[in-house]
A and B are shown apart, each in its own frame.
Chain A
Amino acid sequence: MSTVPLHNDKELLPDVKDDATAGTPTMQKRVRQRLTSRGATAAAIIIAVIWTVPTFGLLISSFRPEDNIKGNGWWNAILDRQFTLENYADVLSPGGSQSPNLLSYFVNSLAIVIPGTVFTLVLGAMAAYMFAWGRFRGKDGLFIFVFALQIVPLQMALIPLLQLFTQVLKFGEFQLLPSGTYAQLWVAHTIFGLPLAIFLLHNFIAEIPGEVIEAARVDGAGHSTIFWRIIVPLATPALASFGIFQFLWLWNDLLVALVFSGGGADVAPITQRLAEIQGSRGGEWQRLTAGAFVSIIVPLAVFFGLQRYFVRGLLAGGLKG
């Protein structure tokens, strides 16, 4: 929703070695001494511990046998040292209707998120390109309007959009976006992601040197050639940054899923299933801990694997408004 001056990655996540060699060593040392007094270090460590321990406790617990999880605290695992993969086997396997069956929901999450991200990126980039380089009347006004749409909380759209999907876009037996499939979720996520996608990608695409595009035009290239051959390759960093964010938002979404998925194992994403298990069997910690970890493993992998793009995207675009 917001823009913060973009710094390059080095500045953002400075390499400690670089620091030590840069400038005069004594000066650096003094700076370090001043800024990292004992009290500050202690406070930083306390914050880091509070921010890490809850997740760590969940991870440890997910590997403990059911009786241990329910019988005593996870810190006892240091002493009893009993670990098992049974919780994971239990939550992932299909089993009966009582079973969490998370593998199925995990697949649903992927099936919702991948097309949802691709659609938003392609349509957003196409519109952003026209707003940046197209020539038509009312361009600026229209762009500001699309930008302003970020203000509308998606709560404002839910009720009518559900009616639209289930009642209006229905012609006799034929439903344009059939219930019980992923289609409604794809379209809903795409709609809610577009204003920010267009805004952010426009900012990037508008910075592409005009001579490049002009040269292609002179050679007789149409908009579609310019878009796919020049804009998309050059805008890849921005597309990657926004794509990662869109991917994480969709993966972590609960509200849109609750409204449009219907809730069965056919369509509902893993967040929705996890929320269900929490509501109905809140004491089944062996399932909740393992289930929670299955659900956060993908975002965590994306986060740690692509942290550089993640941070860059964050600084360029802030959070979803």
Chain B
Amino acid sequence: MEDFADKGLQVVVGLAIFAAIIGLIMLVVDRAPKSGREKLQVAGFLAPALILLAVGLVFPALQTSYLSFTDRNGEFVGLDNFVWMFTQPEALVTLRNTLIWVVLVPLLASSIGLAYAVFIDRARGEKALKALVFMPMAISFVGAGVIWRFVYAYKGAEQDQIGLLNQILVWLGQEPKQFLLDAPENTFFLIAVMIWIQTGFAMVVLSAAIKGIPTEIVEAARLDGASAWQQFRNVTIPTIRGSLIVVITTITIGTLKVFDIVRTMTAGQYETSVVANEMYTQAFRAGEPGRGAALALVLFLMVLPVVVYNARLLRKQKEIR
């Protein structure tokens, strides 16, 4: 209990120091002499955020870029880390896996989310049905990792199975399987977890977009005798195209950076590592900050085009509106 009092005190002190800093800033900008007041006020409001961003994000990102050209002793080694990444088998597996992740997760999560959104649109109990699929969004990747490791749990064929998936295999007359150990298919079982989490996001956003389709368009299509599938293909998809792209790009970015699922379920062993996990392993476990930094840089370069595309699309949408 004493321990908790200690922790509570830390939080109170932390909040108090923060409040004091903010209070001081407000006091200073209010009491400033008339002449330079506007400038000082602008500075006072912006400085805390901008200083933190400069010191904590901009400068470190530049430093990481430099680090990626050094070895474990901090010596400049040119492109060695990148050569390592693109030639060594264990690093290549990481890149291959990341590629599989980034193709499958956005595609399947968006498709399933869209299908579900269409199926339950205007159905009885739509709200509850949505909440069921949406719920995994709130669960941490670590928690999802436990949930799915339990689904994949393995016991020898002579024992009772405790994992649902292996029990289903047994019911179907198959041998139980080590889902997370056998490469290369184990990567797909990790990917399933990410799809499970992201589908809810896709579903909610796309469902909102579907509800935004003007009823006249739907009516017109129906009067023309369009079947449900034709309506879906020729009316729904084109109308919600913008939202669909936003969903896919957002999930793509999240997938590129996926770390926790791999970390907690296999720790990247058995050929399941991805770039974000390998970055952590190299930099903070293997004592190779140079390699870790190089991986972080590659991650940045992979995310960059997706974000730029997304931002340009958004601007175009704003102009239309």
The answer to whether A7 touches B162, judged by C-beta atoms less than 8 angstroms apart, is: no
Interface mask (A10-47 → B, CB under 8 Å = 1, otherwise 0): 01111010010000000000011011110011011001
User: Is A153 on the interface with B (CB-CB < 8 A)?
Assistant: yes
Once A151-B300, A153-B300, A223-B41 are accepted as A-B contacts, the answer to whether A54 and B122 lie under 8 Å apart by CB is: no
Does B20 interact with chain A (Cβ within 8 Å)?
no
Chain A residue contacts of B300, Cβ below 8 A = 151-153, 155-156
Known contacts A2-B250, A55-B135, A130-B45: A254-B283 contact under CB 8 Å: no
Contacts of B142 in A (CB 8 A): 252, 254, 271, 274-275, 278, 292, 295
Q: Are A152 and B122 in contact (CB under 8 A)?
A: no
Asked if residues A224 and B112 are in contact (CB atoms below 8 Å), the reply is no
- Chain B contact surface mostly: helix
Name the residue among B57, B148, B167, B211 with the largest chain A CB count within 10 angstroms: B57
Query: Could you tell me if B15 and A115 are in contact, using CB atoms closer than 8 angstroms?
Result: yes
Q: What residue of chain A has the Cβ atom nearest to residue B63's Cβ?
A: A160
B157 at the interface (CB under 8 A from A): no
A31 to B115, CA, bound (A): 17
Q: In the complex, how many angstroms separate the beta carbon of A8 from the nearest chain B beta carbon? A: 10
How close is B106's CB to chain A, nearest CB, in angstroms?
Answer: 12
- The residue in chain B whose Cβ has the minimal distance to the Cβ of A146 is B53
Given A224-B30, A254-B259, A159 contacting B147 (CB threshold 8 A): no
Within 8 A of A (CB), among B230-258: 243, 246, 249-251, 253-254, 256-257
Q: Is the pair A274, B143 in contact by a Cβ cutoff of 8 Å? A: yes
Interface residues of B in 277-315 (CB under 8 A from A): 279-280, 283-284, 289, 292-293, 295-297, 299-300, 303-304, 307-308, 310, 314
Bitwise, B199-210 to A at CB < 8 A (1) or not (0) is: 111001101110
Q: How far is the CB of B56 from chain A (nearest CB, A)?
A: 3
Q: Is the CB of B196 within 8 A of A51?
A: yes
Considering only CB atoms and an 8 Å cut-off, how many residues of chain B contact the other chain?
124
Closest to B48 in A: A123
Chain B neighbourhood of A35, CB < 8 A: 118, 121-122, 228
**Complex CA–CA separation, A32 to B61 (angstroms):** 53
Taking CB atoms, residues of chain B closer than 8 Å to A198 are 49
Q: Which residue of A lies closest to B219 (CB)?
A: A27
Residues of B within 8 A of A50 (CB): 196
Q: Scan residues 1-51 of chain B and give those whose CB is less than 8 A from a CB of chain A.
A: 3-4, 7-8, 10-11, 14-15, 18, 22, 26, 29-30, 37-39, 41-42, 45-46, 48-50
Give Cα distance in the complex from A108 to B3, angstroms: 11
Q: Do A299 and B208 touch across chains, with their CB atoms under 8 A apart? A: no
Pull 26 A–B residue pairs with CB atoms less than 8 Å apart, ordered by A: A5-B209, A11-B211, A13-B127, A14-B211, A35-B121, A35-B228, A51-B133, A51-B136, A54-B148, A57-B151, A73-B162, A115-B11, A127-B50, A131-B46, A134-B41, A152-B57, A156-B299, A181-B10, A192-B57, A258-B284, A274-B143, A275-B260, A318-B246, A319-B201, A319-B251, A321-B303
Binding site for A on B (CB under 8 A): 3-4, 7-8, 10-11, 14-15, 18, 22, 26, 29-30, 37-39, 41-42, 45-46, 48-50, 52-53, 55-61, 63-65, 67, 112, 115-116, 118-127, 129-133, 135-143, 145-151, 153, 160-164, 167, 196, 199-201, 204-205, 207-209, 211-212, 222, 228, 243, 246, 249-251, 253-254, 256-257, 259-260, 263-265, 267, 276, 279-280, 283-284, 289, 292-293, 295-297, 299-300, 303-304, 307-308, 310, 314
Which A residues have a C-beta under 8 Å from some C-beta of B? 1-5, 7, 11-14, 16, 19, 31-32, 34-37, 40-41, 43-44, 47-48, 50-55, 57-58, 61, 69-75, 104, 107-108, 111, 114-115, 118-119, 122-124, 126-127, 129-131, 134-136, 142, 146, 149-153, 155-161, 164, 181-183, 186-188, 190-192, 194-195, 198, 222-225, 227-228, 248, 251-255, 258-259, 271, 274-275, 278-279, 282, 285, 288-289, 291-292, 295-296, 299-300, 302-304, 307, 310-311, 314-315, 318-321
